[in-house]
Structure 1
Amino acid sequence: MIAGTVRITCSEVIGAEVIPPILAGLKRGHPRLSFELTLTNKIENVLRRDADIAVRMTRPTQDDLVARRIGAVPLGLYAHDSWVRANGVFASIEALIGTGAFIGYDRDPGMVRALAARGISVSQGDFGFRTDSDLAQLSAIRSGVGVGVCQIPIAARTADLQRILPDFSHDLEIWLVTHAGMRHANRVRITFDALASGLTTYLSRAEPPTTKH
């Protein structure tokens, strides 16, 4: 019987919304497995054995790591039905800027840089709701605070969310990573394979973008 503890690190949203059901299924078949889950958007150092397995949104470059590309998760702009009813439909991102509708980051400039790379000028002050927690951003979208970025497979299972400006999209790669010296340990191998299968299934649930009026 496979037993032991596996430490996994991943982003907040993946860790809260995607990973637990995968581990629940694995634990039903292997009840003596234990899991430690670290939710952080910082890259935990697998080389230092800070984690046995990491789910990363960028390709690792270290030679001593074993990495498997799972695929790419599509992102879109979403708002709650109640927000759309109150505010209507906007024709462009530029039309949203300055309305206080955007949900974005507080001190992390990543979204500003990403939009700038697409030729869209936006500042931190254009975000009417700012938090560096991805989970808090997701909760704000679901609560009708405004328009924010959401993983399409998550939005697809939330009936009250509407895709806003479906021409806007962005993909994030998902990589599953472990240390080369750990990949043959049974507890790590079986968890790695279960995560790969579960994440692949998750990505397959991304529905074609639609907008309700």
Structure 2
Amino acid sequence: MSEQAINLNKAKFTISAPDIRRLPDDTGIEVAFAGRSNAGKSSALNTLTRQKSLARTSKTPGRTQLINVFEIAENKRLIDLPGYGFAKVPLEMKKKWQKALGEYLEKRDCLKGLVVLMDIRHPLKDLDQDLIEWAVDSDLPVLCLLTKCDKLSQGKKSAEVLKVQKTLAALKGDIKVQAFSSLKRTGYDQATQVISNWFADEIVDTTTES
């Protein structure tokens, strides 16, 4: 099924939840976005949905403190998970965010795909690798967006993508790696196609059951 099955541009904010108990019912399809607090996650969400302020952006990393839900169609949602790693916040607050993120990943049955955002200049930090390995172990497809690629030359950008691809190939999971720039919209078409296919594949699965 083509990407016309879902339109990311229709994303609308519905709720911010401190934990999974405040989220919508665990039904339908969700695609989650996760990344370090300085990876440009909010900017990427705005770019992919062609909206300037769907997700809040800030010059101070770590603004995403809750699980933010954006509905794109009935029972189909994009999830903006709390950023991890970098944010300069009190330790207790950071632990609370991490617990919410961990619970979501482990217990949310309707999660069908994970977008992991990493600064192309500093990819595959320990928490990034842990997250990707968890997804592979859970048979969850992963799209790694190497953000801020406009800050590198074409040659360096290609080299970094190849390096990450080679490293992650050892995990033998369903992992795609794509250079991405919110500023230049680099990788926009490829990323939206992958995400749309996750929704479309699920639609096919649910309509062909006997």
Normalising by the residue count of structure 2, what TM-score does the alignment of the two structures yield? 0.28
Structure number with the higher helix fraction is 2
Give me the TM-score of the superposition, normalised by structure 1. 0.27
Greater CA radius of gyration, 1 or 2?
Answer: 1
Structure 1 or 2: more strand by fraction:
1
Higher relative contact order (Cα pairs below 8 Å, separated by 6+ residues): 1
